[in-house]
């Protein structure tokens, strides 16, 4: 190799690098873990003996357990889990993103491996206008989330799972009446179904760990929703990438750019009076989230009109004597159950009961096949615009 002939061993080794093998990863991981145990003194090894094996668990040390609440309280203000602001963010500039009052030094680089990008004054004005929009928590959706968590029900991408320790071997093999440790171990080792019970418990343990990991983001967003529930206004600092696309800087909270349930948790803080176009846009919103977004507008309006009964049932699912599980079953058939849920509440009160004359609902803009539609429009191609539903016969 040319680098090695030139004596440039470091560069040559870098080019010869290969991904770590599982054995190498274990070596590095063990080294890091040993350092963590030795120098932080926050953790210790706990060995648990079973019939024919011994497991090692990493748990909090006695000292860490003693001061656990104090550590959490002292570190909580510095945790990197950015929440929305209750006042307007620091404006974005050409050298920094929009930011919190305490992170004025948060800057961004305008260089990429594809070149450089300089944001225009017009684009900056757009970014700052975007992050000056006030939101608030939707209490109806927040209540439904709390109900789902209480019942342990998964809906869409919301997975409210908390760890549940699988039954111990003694319970599986009906040996809980034995309290002496040696006697219990002897009974377990002689039990004919021990191997099968251990296999089942190991499988359930792996499933629990997978579910907890999968539901971690849902749990975090749910907890943050309840933290923010009483805030009258919420603002989201924004950043942008080298293409100029804007992104809110809060990922583990309700978000106007998040998943279905993250979006549905938010309403605009300032309600607006309904007008002669409100019912049209809300009807399209309902049909879109129900999976009718590829139909033309007339068909979407017909879908909403023919599903008034289902809309009413979903909008009132938290009222007494309602079948919560039945309405959740209907929501599971929709594409975006939480945004559909939020829209049903507003539609029900504005146009069915007619006891509400304003709305704060965030209605999405129809941009189906937007890239292809833009190209078809630029080319003035009648055939293409029909195919992307920008034109009809």
pLDDT score of 5 = 79
- pLDDT at position 119, please? 81
Q: What is the pLDDT of residues 262-277, one digit of tens each?
A: 999 999 999 999 998 9
One domain, residues 247 and 151: yes
My answer on whether 353 and 369 are in the same domain is no
**Joined tokens for residue 105:** 């030094």
Residue among 263, 282, 255, 283 at smallest CA distance from 338: 263
Q: What are the C-alpha distances in Å from 340 to residues 21, 272, 362?
A: 47, 20, 11
Beta strands in the chain (DSSP E): 43-49, 54-60, 111-112, 115-116, 135-137, 238-240, 246-248, 266-268, 272-273, 358-359
Number of domains composing the chain: 4
Do 276 and 265 belong together in one domain?
no
Residue 134 has pLDDT above 90, yes or no: yes
Query: Residue 369 sits in which domain range?
Result: 363-393
CATH number of the domain to which 306 belongs:
1.10.287.280
More confident residue, 143 or 178: 143
Residue 50, domain member (yes or no): yes
22 with 143, same domain? no
| Domain stop point among 230, 254, 270 | 270
Is 72 in the same domain as 92? no
- 20 found inside a domain: yes
- Determine, yes or no, domain membership for 199: no
Check whether 232 has a pLDDT greater than 80: yes
Q: Are residues 118 and 238 in the same domain?
A: yes
Our measurement of the distance from residue 271's CA atom to the centroid of its chain's CA atoms, rounded to an integer in Å, reads 26
pTM value is 0.69
pLDDT over 50 at 110, yes or no: no
Q: Give yes or no for a contact between 342 and 374, defined as CB atoms under 8 angstroms apart.
A: no
């Amino acid at each position: 190799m040319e680098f090695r002939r030139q004596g440039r061993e470091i560069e040559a080794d870098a080019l010869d690098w290969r991904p770590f093998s599982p054995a190498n990863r274990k070596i590095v991981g063990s080294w890091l873990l040993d350092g963590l145990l030795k120098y932080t003194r926050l953790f210790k090894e706990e060995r648990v003996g079973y019939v024919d094996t011994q497991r090692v668990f990493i748990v909090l040390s006695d000292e860490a357990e003693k001061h656990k609440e104090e550590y959490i309280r002292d570190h909580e203000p510095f945790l990197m889990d950015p929440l929305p602001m209750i006042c307007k963010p620091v404006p974005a500039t050409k050298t920094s993103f929009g930011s919190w009052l305490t992170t004025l030094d948060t800057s961004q680089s305008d260089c990429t491996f594809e070149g450089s990008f300089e944001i225009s004054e017009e684009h900056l004005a757009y970014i700052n206008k975007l992050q000056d929009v006030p939101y608030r928590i939707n209490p109806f959706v927040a209540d439904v989330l709390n109900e789902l968590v209480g019942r342990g029900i998964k809906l869409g991408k919301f997975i409210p799972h908390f760890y549940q320790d699988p039954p111990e071997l003694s319970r599986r093999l009906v040996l809980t009446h034995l309290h002496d440790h040696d006697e219990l171990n002897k009974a377990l080792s002689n039990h004919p179904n021990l191997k099968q019970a251990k296999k089942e418990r190991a499988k359930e343990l792996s499933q629990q760990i997978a579910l907890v990991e999968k539901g971690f983001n849902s749990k975090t967003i749910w907890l943050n929703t309840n933290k923010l529930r009483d805030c009258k206004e919420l603002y989201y600092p924004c950043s942008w990438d080298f293409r100029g696309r804007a992104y809110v800087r809060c990922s583990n909270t309700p978000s106007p750019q998040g998943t279905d349930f993250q979006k549905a948790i938010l309403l605009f803080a300032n309600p607006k009076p309904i007008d002669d176009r409100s019912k049209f846009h809300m009807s399209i919103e309902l049909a879109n989230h129900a999976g009718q977004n590829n139909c033309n507008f007339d068909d979407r309006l017909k879908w909403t009109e023919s599903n008034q009964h289902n809309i009413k049932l979903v909008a009132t699912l938290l009222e007494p004597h309602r079948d919560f599980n039945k309405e959740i079953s209907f929501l599971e058939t929709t594409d975006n159950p939480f945004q559909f849920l939020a829209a049903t509440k507003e539609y029900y009160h504005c146009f069915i009961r007619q006891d509400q004359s304003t709305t704060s609902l965030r209605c999405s803009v129809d941009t189906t096949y937007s890239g292809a539609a833009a190209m078809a429009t630029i080319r003035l191609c009648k055939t293409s615009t029909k195919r992307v539903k920008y034109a009809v016969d």
